[in-house]
Structure 1
Amino acid sequence: MSTRITILCENSVGPISGTLGEHGFSALVEHNGDTLLWDTGQGFTLLHNAQRMNKNLHQVGQVALSHGHYDHSGGLLPLLRSCGPKRVFAHPAVFTPRYRHKDTGESLSLGLPYPREYLEGQGACFDLSAGYREIQPGIALTGEVPRTTGFETGDSGLFTDLSASQRDRFDDDQSLVITTNKGLVVLLGCCHAGLINTLQHVSAQSGRNDIYAVVGGTHLGFCSADQLEQTIQALTTWQIKKLAVSHCTGFSAACRLQQAFPAAFHNAQVGYGLSL
């Protein structure tokens, strides 16, 4: 059993020269001879960074989306146009309209930037489900994550309508679970559902508590200081060996996580790789 995770899109870049950053996230998962793309970034850097890192996206057999935000799904169109049709796993609510409302009254559209019908015309074959499911041997999607913790209240500035009357519940938020020789690896998108909610759901569905690594965006940079501290307290019970955070974690929250977990902490920038 062999697994390699490589960050292709992220807000910042690591030491690989010529790679580019963007506000977004995408990771390539090479697992036991199969290749899966987890999220696609905004679409500006996916193809460029993959080429720079000698990763052949034509070999990607499946794409899985963590949720329907533009910075995780915008790269799907250039991927389809460059590399041909792909099977795309997602939650049924991935096409929900989404907005951030600013104090100025301006509304910014954050949802998936292309209609389903258009993407299907470009070669996307959507496989939608809200449940926990294995999508290839050793790789599962969490599906919809139950909200069970009292402190993970999320980002209050995101809505599903232009009038800011319907707060976005992010029912479609999900994570990827990879079985490796060292334990489970949980690959996050933005983790709008809450990191502890997600880990508890993974444990309940898999029947396992041996989570070796957590990689990706935690959205703690957009949450309260109280949520951050309670998340850290809850994380101490999991004994995670690698905590490789990025994207929506934010600098301040990342620094706090590094302080709390110095041996496990990593910055998952463009080019970051985890081999197991």
Structure 2
Amino acid sequence: MKKNKQQQNSVVGSLISIVFAFIIFSIVLTNAPVWAQDNKNDLVITTLFDSKSSNKDLKTGWGFSCLIQGTEKTILFDIGSDDAIINMDKLRINPASIDVLVISHDHFDHTVGMPAFLKINKKAKTIFVPCDSVKICNNVFTTGAMGTDIKENALIIKTAKGLVVITGCAHPGIVEIVQKAKQMFPKDEVYLVMGGFHLSMEREIIVQMIVSDLKKENVRKIAPSHCTGDYAESVFKKAFGADYIPGDVGKPIVIEGAFIKAIK
């Protein structure tokens, strides 16, 4: 009788261990980054710092930073706050794994986090204005310095679905940056434009004209954030409908099959 009770206790203990292990495994999966998928054909862009986030655990504020994964090199575009590094930790991103840091322009809200980042990551190649157009790696380029008073650099990624254009503040003009991307790659359509568009202080009629011009340039999807402004974002949302992507720190934009075929 005593032996049977010991066997029962042993079985119960084993079941508890299995259930506990399953719960822990489930938590690990739940907390794993959503971009941790073994699909090398996808392009993943994650905003690391900006003013809005649906995740209350992440830091937000005035500035911009985003991470590009899935390309040959892992790229950090702008780092406008030390909080971007805190967010990396919360998103389980290792700053030391980043290969290239691209700075769009020298304003504080795009550069403040540089010293803290470069202290952690001493190997990352840094690209910042003024500079000519640079090929960072396969399918990834910079526009080179644009503008007059404020020189700014934007990022262009060639994908199977079209060009992805990422801007910091678009001081030279968001339409002009898109046109520059199309001049550099005339055979490609523009699939996505994202980042700061510097429209928060613009008159409503100017905002409406810019939205109209981007539609004329056949921009497929739009993801405005940072200095774009609430009014401009609402106009973009109305114009692009389901192709409008709201800015959201920590929520990846995944372009599936971005590199499904060789791109020349």
Q: State the TM-score bracket (shorter-chain normalisation).
A: 0.7 to 0.9
* Residue equivalent to 1:63: 101
Question: Partners in 2 of 1:19 and 1:188 — Cα distance?
Answer: 22
Shift of 1:57: 1.2
**Is the 8 Å Cα contact of residues 185 and 212 (structure 1) preserved in structure 2?**
yes
Question: Partners in 1 of 2:53 and 2:47 — Cα distance?
Answer: 10
User: Where in structure 1 are there 5+ consecutive unaligned residues?
Assistant: 93-128, 147-167
Q: Is 2:42 the counterpart of 1:2?
A: yes
- SS of 1:272's partner is coil
**Is the 8 Å Cα contact of residues 145 and 197 (structure 1) preserved in structure 2?**
no
Q: TM-score, normalised by structure 2?
A: 0.77
Q: 2:121 aligns with which of 83, 96, 115?
A: 83
Report the RMSD for the aligned CA atoms in angstroms: 1.6
Percent of residue pairs identical: 27
Q: Is 2:194 the counterpart of 1:215?
A: yes
Shift of 1:209: 4.1
Paired letter, 2:68: V
Greater Cα radius of gyration, structure 1 or 2: 2
Question: Partners in 2 of 1:64 and 1:203 — Cα distance?
Answer: 21
Shift of 1:17: 4.0
* Residue equivalent to 1:190: 169
Q: Is 2:1 the counterpart of 1:21?
A: no
Question: Partners in 2 of 1:18 and 1:205 — Cα distance?
Answer: 40
Provide, for residues 84-110 of structure 1, a one-character-per-residue CA deviation record: whole Å limited to 9, x for no partner: 243210112xxxxxxxxxxxxxxxxxx
Question: Partners in 2 of 1:242 and 1:67 — Cα distance?
Answer: 24
Question: Partners in 1 of 2:56 and 2:208 — Cα distance?
Answer: 36
Q: Is 2:76 the counterpart of 1:37?
A: yes
- Which residues of 2 match residues 123-134 of structure 1 at below 5 A? 129=131, 131-134=132-135
Paired letter, 1:88: T
Q: TM-score, normalised by structure 1?
A: 0.74
Shift of 1:70: 0.4
Paired letter, 1:226: I
Paired letter, 1:39: D
- SS of 2:216's partner is coil
Question: Partners in 1 of 2:74 and 2:203 — Cα distance?
Answer: 36
**Is the 8 Å Cα contact of residues 72 and 137 (structure 2) preserved in structure 1?**
no
Number of positions where the alignment pairs a residue of Structure 1 with one of Structure 2? 215
* Residue equivalent to 1:201: 180
Would you identify which runs of 4 or more consecutive aligned residues in structure 1 move more than 4 Å? Answer: none
**Is the 8 Å Cα contact of residues 66 and 90 (structure 1) preserved in structure 2?**
yes
- SS of 1:212's partner is strand
Larger helix percent: 2
Q: Is 2:158 the counterpart of 1:179?
A: yes
Shift of 1:214: 0.7
